[in-house]
Amino acid sequence: MSFNTISEMFLQSTGSFSDKASCYEKIDGAWKELTYSEVKILVERFAAGLSSLGIQAGDKVAIQSTNCPRWAISDYAIACLGAVSVTVYPTLIPSQIKYILDDSDTVYVITENKEQTDKILSIINESDGLKGIIAMDDQSGPSSNIFSFSEILEQGDGYISENGFNVDESAKTARPEDLLTIIYTSGTTGDPKGVMLTHKNLVSNIKATSLAVEVKESDVYLSFLPLSHSFERMSGHYTGFSKGGTTYYAEGVDTVADNMMEVKPTVVIAVPRLYEKIHAKVLDKVSGDPPLRQKIFWWGIDVGQKAAQYLTRGQNPSGLLGIKFKIADKLVFSKLKEKVGGRLRCFISGGAPLSPEVGKFFASANIPILEGYGLTETSPVITCNREELFKFGTVGKPLEGVEVKIAEDGEILCRGDNVMKGYYNNPEATQEVLGDDGWFKTGDIGNFDDEDGYLQITDRKKSLLVTSGGKNIAPTPLELSLCLSKYIEQCLVIGDRRKFISALIVPSFEFLNAWAEKNNVPNDDRKVLCSHSSVLELFDQEVQNAMESFSRYERVKKFALLKSEWTIESGEITPKLSVKRKVVEKNYAEVIDHLYSS
């Protein structure tokens, strides 16, 4: 890979893989293909259209949409102009969007549909720098400053013929040190910060990731993690494109399972919650199977876990174990593989910690989950496990060209070409995390294992709990263990400056309702359901089981069941599903106080 900017990569890939399918989108029940050459034509037309609006190098253009081909086309067009993309989660409310657009000096917003366009219309008159909206769904509104996507393409055609615009020439003007994008951290505390990433930042991560994990031209991706987040954008959108891969854009989060069966991906990039849900549903189904089928399933898992010591090192088990594993694969694992499409090479996990138990489960079926680690500020990958050697409970080894060290207080520090330029319009925040020597403070606590130099994450530095007895407790391992229960959808472990550890638990109402119906427990009112004595007994046992492997002082002593899920809209979780600890603790302050006063 000889490119040094994202726009160079775009030109190389559209030239090398011109006739190959770049992406698919489902329209009217059928998957519609765009080849690499077709994508280039659309990018050139759209970039020319943006130029006709006066957008030039350095200008900020926001994209506010779920994943789709027009998101990708917009992104590449902005990059090829030398302009700067600002990614906005479509789940955000108008006031949050306004903050990002104002802080980033955005001049135009590309919106997905009427819902997103209406959000911008509600704030556009309050934003001094915002000039207009480009609607992807071609639904022009009642305002003169709304353009449809198709209008911009048509304007681009005119601009090309009248001004001789050429996307190849425009794309080659970008320099590695130029700003490519501003991605606002979802932030579990305070206002989001605009992370400035250059072409060099993202290119270094694409190249280093491709050396760590084999990326093939034949790879097929199912894209459903938000492209607004750096993980999906770098790993699938850019890296897959750089190698000539093919991306299918999922119809939505609710259709991921169905879409997997349809498109048969070879690589799936997701956060741990997806894998946890698959794991829980498989075990729930097995629990309802006839005894003989259950026995065969657990025999297969046992064989697979013994074989995993070879599989995690890129080897196949031999001898009697090899024979047993082939039988287990046919009787048990083949059915699981069919559920994820049948040709999956690996899962990629990031954005949050993966439970070792879930990792071991999939590894036993020879479906490796390669867990990595990073932050938006690091473009994002710092470390990742390798197909030839992955270790449960670790986030792998540092990428080539990325330095990692542990500070005296245990904080993980990172240095390399992947580290951000800084926070936009926020030099004070930049100085807090980025030293003159280039070392970036991640805010995470961790250590290296002695054997292979694999990094282990303990928790966020700010999340560590210190009980009134002086015990230091990392809540994440406790939360991971609790969420292995199929009855627990979300949880937050609390206990800072308290006598003991407790937890707020949001039940998985899908499984809890099924249990309630089976046990004749009324479930038409969630509040009543969560306070029912039988339900509390069920969860008490689930919590006890989850705490078995922890020291006595670490264990959750009390818990409260909550009737409502934490959502992005309520501000209690971030778009990548991380719980905003301070917000949840504030919203449920009375519940927490009751846990410690009763």
Q: What is the pLDDT of residues 556-571, one digit of tens each?
A: 999 999 999 999 888 8
The candidate with the shortest Cα–Cα distance to 83, out of 184, 185, 171, is 171
| pLDDT for the residue numbered 319 | 96
In the predicted model, what is the mean pLDDT of residues 545-554?
94
pLDDT tens, position by position, 486-519: 999 999 999 998 999 999 999 999 999 999 999 9
178-187, 188-197, 394-403 — which is least confidently predicted?
188-197
In the predicted model, what is the mean pLDDT of residues 434-460?
91
* Residue 268 Cα to chain centre, angstroms: 11
Residues 119 and 79 in one domain: yes
Q: Is the full-model pTM beyond 0.85? A: yes
Count the Cβ atoms, other than its own, within 10 Å of residue 434: 19
Residues 275 and 420 in one domain: yes
Q: Between residues 468 and 122, which one has the greater pLDDT? A: 122
Backbone angles phi and psi of 50, in degrees to 5? -65, -40
pLDDT band at 317 (very low <50, low <70, confident <90, very high): very high
Report the greatest alpha carbon distance in the chain. Answer: 76
Residues 525 and 424 in one domain: no
* 197 part of a folded domain: no
In the predicted model, what is the mean pLDDT of residues 461-484?
91
pLDDT tens, position by position, 190-222: 689 999 999 999 999 999 999 999 999 999 999
Q: What is the CATH number of the domain that holds 423?
A: 3.40.50.12780
Answer whether 363's CB lies under 8 Å from 307's CB.
no
In the predicted model, what is the mean pLDDT of residues 233-253?
96
| pLDDT for the residue numbered 143 | 67
Residues 281 and 386 in one domain: yes
* 273 part of a folded domain: yes
Answer whether 180's CB lies under 8 Å from 199's CB.
yes
* 196 part of a folded domain: no
| pLDDT for the residue numbered 131 | 95
Cα–Cα distances (Å) from 494 to 44, 61, 438, 509, 540, in that order, read: 52, 40, 35, 22, 17
Answer whether 396's CB lies under 8 Å from 448's CB.
no
Domain boundary among 436, 460, 484: 460
| pLDDT for the residue numbered 9 | 98
| pLDDT for the residue numbered 254 | 87
In the predicted model, what is the mean pLDDT of residues 334-363?
93
Residues 432 and 498 in one domain: no
Answer whether 405's CB lies under 8 Å from 381's CB.
no
Q: What is the mean pLDDT of the chain?
A: 94
| pLDDT for the residue numbered 559 | 97
Residues 233 and 316 in one domain: no
pLDDT band at 145 (very low <50, low <70, confident <90, very high): confident
The candidate with the shortest Cα–Cα distance to 230, out of 267, 197, 192, 268, is 197
| pLDDT for the residue numbered 25 | 98
pLDDT tens, position by position, 254-274: 899 999 999 999 999 999 989
In the predicted model, what is the mean pLDDT of residues 538-557?
96
Residues 472 and 491 in one domain: yes
Q: What is the 3-state secondary structure (H, E, C) of 275-286?
A: HHHHHHHHHHHH
Residues 592 and 557 in one domain: yes
| pLDDT for the residue numbered 58 | 97
pLDDT band at 554 (very low <50, low <70, confident <90, very high): very high
pLDDT tens, position by position, 363-388: 999 999 999 999 999 999 999 999 99
pLDDT tens, position by position, 60-114: 999 999 999 999 999 999 999 999 999 999 988 899 999 999 999 999 999 999 9
Domain boundary among 460, 486, 521: 460
Q: Where are the alpha helices (DSSP H) in 36-84?
A: 36-52, 69-81
* 186 part of a folded domain: no
Distance CA 97, CA 91 (A): 10
| pLDDT for the residue numbered 1 | 61
Question: 282 pLDDT exceeds 70?
Answer: yes
* 221 part of a folded domain: no
Domain boundary among 460, 484, 510: 460
| pLDDT for the residue numbered 179 | 98
* 133 part of a folded domain: yes
* 183 part of a folded domain: no
Residues 41 and 59 in one domain: yes
| pLDDT for the residue numbered 592 | 96
Residues 443 and 493 in one domain: no
Residues 22 and 139 in one domain: yes
* Parent domain of 477: 464-597
Q: What is the CATH number of the domain that holds 547?
A: 3.30.300.30
Residues 35-74: b if buried by 16+ CB within 10 A, e if exposed = bbebbbebbbbbbbbbbbbebeeebbbbbbbbbbbbbbbb
* 194 part of a folded domain: no
Residues 564 and 493 in one domain: yes
Q: How many domains does the chain have?
A: 3
pLDDT band at 151 (very low <50, low <70, confident <90, very high): very high
pLDDT band at 187 (very low <50, low <70, confident <90, very high): low
Question: 351 pLDDT exceeds 90?
Answer: no
